[in-house]
Amino acid sequence: MKFVIIFGPQASGKMTVGQELGKKTGFPLLHNHMTLELLHPFFGFSEETFRLSALFREEMFKSLAAGDTTGAIFTMVWEFDRKEDWDFINNTKEIFESTGHSVYFVELEADTATRIFRNKSESRLANKPTKRDIAASEKNLLESMANHRLNSREGEISHRPYIRIDNTDKSAEQAATIICNEFSL
């Protein structure tokens, strides 16, 4: 199995690139908000939402790793200044690598103006109901930039295979093509 983790700041294009990568590879996509949106009506964006979401993902990843799926794509915001996010990534890698599967890292980055523009995109709002309050979503985007480091530092990620793509001026299809070519997917 090939497990692709796409990470980057909010509205950097993770879900859209993941969708395009899924079209090219046939791999299913679990974007971060799929579990968050499921739990939000019950718990809001509380610690319980994030705890349950993490439990669901871990169990799903274990089932995927034990099964015969050829590949899967997962997207997330990785806050590099939070130990919990590093632990989540390392645990996820271990789930797949311990069963002989390959894990691919894709880091996306885009400038702030592009991210603010994408934050209002039709696809984002259709797939992520909690982002439909655009003012609140934009405020969250800007606050997370101020409070967390959302892209890695040069050389910080030692995992291979890994690629970093500035997709400020790239379409999702172009970014997905780069990923497929880089990783021979």
CATH code for position 22: 3.40.50.300
pLDDT exceeds 80 at position 125 = no
Q: Would you state the pLDDT for residue 102?
A: 98
Mean pLDDT of the chain: 94
Indicate the residue type of 105. F
pLDDT exceeds 80 at position 129 = no
User: What mean pLDDT do residues 11-18 have?
Assistant: 96
pLDDT exceeds 80 at position 89 = yes
Going by pLDDT thresholds of 50, 70 and 90, the confidence category of residue 133 is confident
CA atoms of 11 and 181, how far apart (whole Å): 24
User: What mean pLDDT do residues 3-13 have?
Assistant: 97
Rounded to the nearest angstrom, the gap between the alpha carbon of residue 16 and the centroid of all alpha carbons in its chain is 10
Asked if residue 54 is part of any domain, the answer here is yes
Asked if residue 1 is part of any domain, the answer here is no
Residue range of the domain that includes 168: 7-183
**Nearest one of 110, 108, 107, 91 to 160, comparing CA atoms:** 107
Which residue, chain included where needed, has tokens 């718990």?
Answer: 43
Q: Would you state the pLDDT for residue 137?
A: 87
**pTM of this prediction?**
0.93
The burial class, CB within 10 Å (0-12 / 13-18 / 19+), for 47 is exposed
Asked if residue 53 is part of any domain, the answer here is yes
User: What mean pLDDT do residues 122-132 have?
Assistant: 79
- pLDDT (tens digit per residue) in 141-150: 899 999 999 9
Asked if residue 2 is part of any domain, the answer here is no
Look at the chain and report how many structural domains it folds into. Answer: 1
- pLDDT (tens digit per residue) in 32-74: 888 988 898 999 989 999 899 999 999 999 999 999 999 999 9
Going by pLDDT thresholds of 50, 70 and 90, the confidence category of residue 111 is very high
